[in-house]
Amino acid sequence: MSPVKTPRETQLRIGKILETLNQLIPPRPFTHVNTTTSATHSTVSILNPRHTYCRGDQLDVLLEARDHLGRRKEYGGDFLRARMSSPVLKAGTSGKVTDFNNGTYLVSFTLFWQGHVSLSLLLIHPSEGVSALWRARNQGYDKIIFKGKFVNGTSEVFTECSLTPNSSTELCTYLYGRDQEAFYCEKPPHMPCEALTHVNTKNQEISYLTVKEKSLFHK
């Protein structure tokens, strides 16, 4: 069995993961929606096409992302969903997307069935939208309000809780699951930490997306 990690060790591990994600999702500011990725103008082509394929073969598709003006994108980061399905067999599977970070993507499908298959490649969010959502997520990370309810006999007390230990008062620390993820609540006076019975959440009504960024998510 692996040793139990302390809350500090867990927070450091989470911090390293978030730092890696920040590097994978760099800022992608844009001046106009026309410079963002366009599904209509992007092109796809089958690499080394053959007349017939055998079950178990791999089918590779090259995607070249372009913006709404038809210009080739020079960076990656688009949120793509690749699917292969067989309407006859009522079966489906996902394709593997490899991002070359230069506006091109390799989409690989393993041909699991005999007969005709349908391929689909959907642009869920352009890279500019992905970047905006990640930035907004980081800015609003501590804007979720947590309230813990402590019950001891006939007494009920509500205190503030959070995912990070950012209070100078005495805290109750709760560890969850295999990864020992920590959650903190301010300890009410004259009550044990075990008296916590419920946690309620409420999002503050605030958006960190600009008007231009919001337009990327209007379908």
Q: Are residues 121 and 49 in the same domain?
A: yes
**Beta strand ranges found along 29-89 (DSSP E):** 37-46, 58-67, 79-86
Position 86 in a domain:
yes
End-of-domain residue from the set 90, 114, 135: 135
* pLDDT tens digits, 28-55: 988 899 999 999 999 999 999 999 999 9
> CA dihedral in degrees (152, 156, 157, 161; nearest 10)?
80
Residue finishing a domain among 97, 116, 135: 135
pLDDT for 23 beyond 90 = no
> pLDDT tens digit string along 102-150?
999 999 999 999 999 999 999 999 999 999 999 988 887 667 789 999 9
Residues 32 and 93 in one domain: yes
> Is the domain of 173 the same as that of 154?
yes
Query: Do residues 60 and 124 both lie within one domain?
Result: yes
**Has residue 209 been placed in a domain?**
no
Residues 31 and 96 in one domain: yes
Residue 59's Cβ-side half-sphere holds a number of Cα atoms within 13 Å equal to: 24
Write the pLDDT tens digit of every residue in 156-200. Answer: 999 999 888 877 889 999 987 666 678 899 999 999 999 999 999
Instruction: Report how many domains make up the chain.
Output: 2
Q: Does residue 2 sit within a domain?
A: no
Answering whether pTM is above 0.75, one says no
74 in a structural domain:
yes
Here the CATH number for the domain that contains residue 131 is 2.60.40.10
Residue 36 lies in a domain: yes
Domain residue limits at 118: 23-135
Residues 36 and 66 in one domain: yes
Verify that 128 and 51 share a domain, yes or no.
yes
Of the three residues 102, 118, 135, the one that is the final residue of a domain is 135
State whether 81 and 36 are in the same domain. yes
Same structural domain, 33 and 126: yes
**Residue 18 resides in a domain:** no
The pLDDT-based confidence of 7 (bands split at 50, 70, 90) is low
Q: Note whether residue 211 is domain-resident.
A: no
Is 217 among the domain residues? no
Could you tell me if 173 and 69 lie in one domain?
no
List the Cα angle 124/126/128 in 5-degree steps.
140
187 φ, ψ (degrees, to nearest 5): -80, 120
